[in-house]
Structures are given as structure tokens and as C-alpha cells.
Amino acid sequence: MKRLNWPTKSIYIPPATSLSKPKKDFVYDAIFIGGGAAGRFGSAFLRAMGGTQFTFEMDNHLGGQCCKHNCVPEHFAYDNAVYMDHLRWFSGLTWMPEIPDKIPMVPIFELFRKVRDTNVYKFMTDQSKDQLGIEFDIYKEAKIVDPNTVEVDGERYKARNLVIATGARPRIPDIPGVHLKNVLTNRELVNIDYEPEKVVVIGAGKTAAGYTSFFRACGCDVTVVNRSPIYRFLDDDVREFVISNMKRRGIKIYENVKIKEIRGTEKVEGVVIEENGVEKVIPCDTVFLGTGVIPNSEIAKPLGVEIGPNNEIVVNRKFQTSIPNVYAIGDVTGPPYVMSKARQSGMYAARNIMGEDVEMPNRTIPEFMFTTYEVTWVGLTEKQCREQYGDAVVIKMPPFNLDIGLPLAERSMIMAHVHPEMSGFQKAIIEPKSRRFVGFWHVGYGAKAAFQYLAVLLDKGLTVDEMATFHELFLNAEHFIQLTRLRAGQKNLTSL
């Protein structure tokens, strides 16, 4: 089975002294297959509890796809996109320089790779070995022999438990032409060696959203095509702000279209779509596939573990598979494909392996995606609140169609003074009878971290009366505290 089929141009090889040799004639508490976020955190937690482990990693580093071509470059591209976007809107204003129409992206990804291939991979090695005491080896493809045995380089190794942490890969849609040159997923994008001019983005998941805005900020002509309405998971008001601001920046969007073909001879030349029965060719030199991921569960199939409809290994909340002593953690277990689940699943597998009887609690998960704004949310939409509770009170900023630069704080101050209607948007959803918050939404800059804690407060039943007593760090990116205080005096809450 070939899993490591993405371009590997990394220059980093950990020093031999960082790597361990697995012991034969020894029974580990656990052998981890895969040292990404899930495998690395699981290994570290198990070691912290006094367990013995060995982790086999196929790639040249621990830390997985996050630092290689997923979350870190996505954040790096987003950060570049915000700078570029803002400088475009402010070009020539006060002290701001004039910005060229086209900004090359190859040097941006070169800089990312340079730091990744040295500092980031080195940190993953050094922390894992020196601070966490993880025993691991790289470039090692493990084969599962039975629930207690793996085979690597022709040798067999034993453990009381097996932990499968093999991640997921981009889902490649079944569209003619999908294998043409310059049809990219996020894996190929970080190694790009040419400058795209016209990009068609297929799909509208979170990765696609971030890169769509990045391509546009670089000055590319960008079109999004999707089989259904995009970003339906967002609250309606938030969705409207996000999409109208993508369009304001010149991004073209085709929703509810059939994607019939990616056309080209050697390289991609266009995407053929069908809209309301009419065929249309969108010329382009690059296609970005943002069509989701598929778990790498193939390694476990010979064991006979239960596999779900999306190729995921089915697990319970202890991350046990259908086979005793075989655990699966992280993206290989299917959605949600989020870091917090990857890392926590490793922790819960380790705790159960070490004799505890614990399940991962069912907490509300905060989420985010990038456009040229940071879009962050937790809990219900206004519509879901009305469906679930029959009513909803909302606190919004700006509260109606007013061109006012609110919310504003660091990073949105200049926008608020130059293009106030573009500074951002936020919304809190309250169930009025209990006065409890059920959802928080924010589009802007710098509010993401707060949502990690808002999620916990929301699960604990945070009320408007409690939030009114919080201390805001004015000017705060999200104005939830002070806006709530403007309403908490009401016996019968009304929207703001």
C-alpha cells in the first residue's frame, strides 16, 4: 500500500541520535503507526503516564500533515492574504505603498518550506525526543500482522495494544481531467513552481475557502465552482457577510452547478460546468481541488476492523476499534477532521491503554475558516436556535445595514476608518427563556483564540447575566461582553 505519494522535497533528516531502534523480544504497552498530531500526542501522553511505546512514522518527521502541507501553510497563506488584501484596499493611503496587481506566490511558499524543513521539523524531533521521551523512527512503513504484532523492514515487533494513526488524504473527485498538470490539492500547492494567473477552485470546504482568498489576494483571477450552495454551515447573516465580501474582492462564484470536466491537453486549460442546463467553459491555468479528505484506513483492512462508509475506522469514544486492543485515532477515524480531536483522541487512547476507563467527553467544538477574514464560530446558528427552542434573541454588530466600522480592534482599525462596511461582523445567539448563550459567530481578526474558551463556557450554560460581569480588554476584537451588558438589564431580553 502506498500512502506517501505526495511530493517530498524536504531537506530535513533528523540526526541518527534522535531516532530509536525498536526492541525485539520486548512487548510494548503500545505501538503507534503514524507520528502525526494524533500519534505524537498519544505517544507523549502514554510516556507521561509511564507507559512504553514505539512510534513508526513513514515520513521524514513527526508532526504529520499539519506542519507539512495542511494547517501551518494554510495559516501562513492566510496571514499573507490579509496583509496583501489590506494593502490593496489602503494602497497609496497616508504612508501605505502602492501595491502591484500581481504578487508572486512562489516565494511565499519557498519561505514556508525553508522554515518548515529546518526549524519546524527540527522542533518536532527535539521536543518529541528530549522533552517527551517518545521512541520513534522515520521512513518506516509498518504492516499489521495481528492485533499485537507489526512488521517493519522484515522484522516483527510486539505490543499489548496497537494504535493506528495514519491520517487522511485529499479526496480526489471523479471528474474527467482531474489528473492533468496544474490540478492541485493543498499538498502540491506548497511545492508550486509557477505563477498561476487564472484559478478555478472546485469545492467550498474550509481549506478551499482559505486558499480561494489567498489566490485572489495574490492578484489571480479566481472562480469558485460548487455542486451546492457554498458555506451552508454558517449562520445566514455570517454567510451573507462572508460571501458578499468575497464578491466585493472580485471572486466569482458559481453554486448549484454540475462540474463536468477539467479540460486541457497536457496542462489544465479550463473547467466545464453546467448551470441551469447550459454548458459554460471557465478558462484557467490552475485548478485547486478543495473537495475534502478521505481516511487512510487501508492499512487496517486485513485485520478485519469495522470500516465506515467514508473509509473511516469506526471507533467508540475511547478510540477502541471493533477489535480488542486495536485503537484508531485522529483523521483515520473520520470527521470532524480537527486538530483538537486528533490530539485528544491520542490522549484518550493512551489513558485507556494505561488502565483508565475514560471516554472523550462530547464537548461543543469551536470551528474556524479563513477567507481574507478569520471566520470563527461555536454552537448554533440563529435558525437552529429557533428550530430547537422556538425563539432566539440575537446581539449583532453592526446591528443593521449601517456602514459603521464596528466591530473594530487591532487589525481592523484602519479598515474601519477607510472602508467601515468591511471591518467585520459578529453575532451572539441567546435562548431567551434560560438567558443562555447557544451560539457565537465572528468575522474579523483576532477573535479566534477566545472561541476555545467560549466553547467551554457555552457548554457550562453561560448566561447573559454572567457575561455582563466579565472584564473586556477594550478595544476587543469581539464585542460580546460589552454588547451583552447593554441588554442584561432587561427582564425580557430583546435583540440588539
Give the residues lining the site for ligand KPC (CB under 6 A).
37, 40, 63-64, 66-67, 72, 120, 343
| 100 in Cβ contact with 16 (< 8 Å) | no
Integer CA distances (angstroms), 128 to 31, 37, 132, 146, 327, in order:
16, 11, 5, 27, 21
The set of cell numbers assigned to 305 is 476492523
| 238 in Cβ contact with 427 (< 8 Å) | yes
Cα(450)–Cα(426) distance, integer angstroms: 13
Query: Which CB, 138 or 183, lies closer to ligand KPC?
Result: 138
Q: How far is the CB of 76 from ligand KPC (least distance, A)?
A: 11
Q: How far is the CB of 37 from ligand KPC (least distance, A)?
A: 3
Query: Which CB, 342 or 450, lies closer to ligand KPC?
Result: 342
Query: Which CB, 239 or 341, lies closer to ligand KPC?
Result: 341
Query: Which CB, 347 or 397, lies closer to ligand KPC?
Result: 347
Q: How far is the CB of 192 from ligand KPC (least distance, A)?
A: 21
Query: Which CB, 37 or 199, lies closer to ligand KPC?
Result: 37
Residue nearest to ligand KPC (CB): 37
DSSP letters, 447-482, are: -HHHHHHHHHHHHTT-BHHHHTTSPP-SSPSS-HHH
| 136 in Cβ contact with 57 (< 8 Å) | yes
Q: How far is the CB of 231 from ligand KPC (least distance, A)?
A: 26
Q: How far is the CB of 295 from ligand KPC (least distance, A)?
A: 18
Query: Which CB, 216 or 343, lies closer to ligand KPC?
Result: 343
Cα(496)–Cα(486) distance, integer angstroms: 8
Nearest to 269, CA basis, from 261, 279, 278: 261
Q: How far is the CB of 57 from ligand KPC (least distance, A)?
A: 11
Cα(344)–Cα(124) distance, integer angstroms: 18
Q: How far is the CB of 109 from ligand KPC (least distance, A)?
A: 16
Query: Which CB, 167 or 439, lies closer to ligand KPC?
Result: 167
In the chain, how many H helices and how many E strands? 14, 22
> Does the bond joining 398 to the residue before it have cis omega, within 30 degrees of 0?
yes
Query: What 8-state DSSP symbol labels residue 131?
Result: I
Cα(496)–Cα(489) distance, integer angstroms: 13
Query: Which CB, 115 or 402, lies closer to ligand KPC?
Result: 115
Pairing verdict, β 268-275 and 278-283: antiparallel
Sign of the Cα torsion 447, 450, 455, 459 reads: negative
Nearest to 140, CA basis, from 234, 37, 4, 273: 4
Query: Which CB, 116 or 239, lies closer to ligand KPC?
Result: 116
CA 334-335-338 angle, 5° bins: 115
CA end-to-end distance (rounded Å), the chain: 57
If you compute the radius of gyration of the chain from its CA atoms, what whole number of angstroms results? 24
Q: How far is the CB of 74 from ligand KPC (least distance, A)?
A: 11
The set of cell numbers assigned to 391 is 425563539
Q: How far is the CB of 85 from ligand KPC (least distance, A)?
A: 24
Query: Which CB, 37 or 189, lies closer to ligand KPC?
Result: 37
Q: How far is the CB of 329 from ligand KPC (least distance, A)?
A: 12
Q: How far is the CB of 24 from ligand KPC (least distance, A)?
A: 27
Query: Which CB, 34 or 196, lies closer to ligand KPC?
Result: 34
Point out which residues pair with 225 in neighbouring strands: 202, 254
Cα(346)–Cα(109) distance, integer angstroms: 30
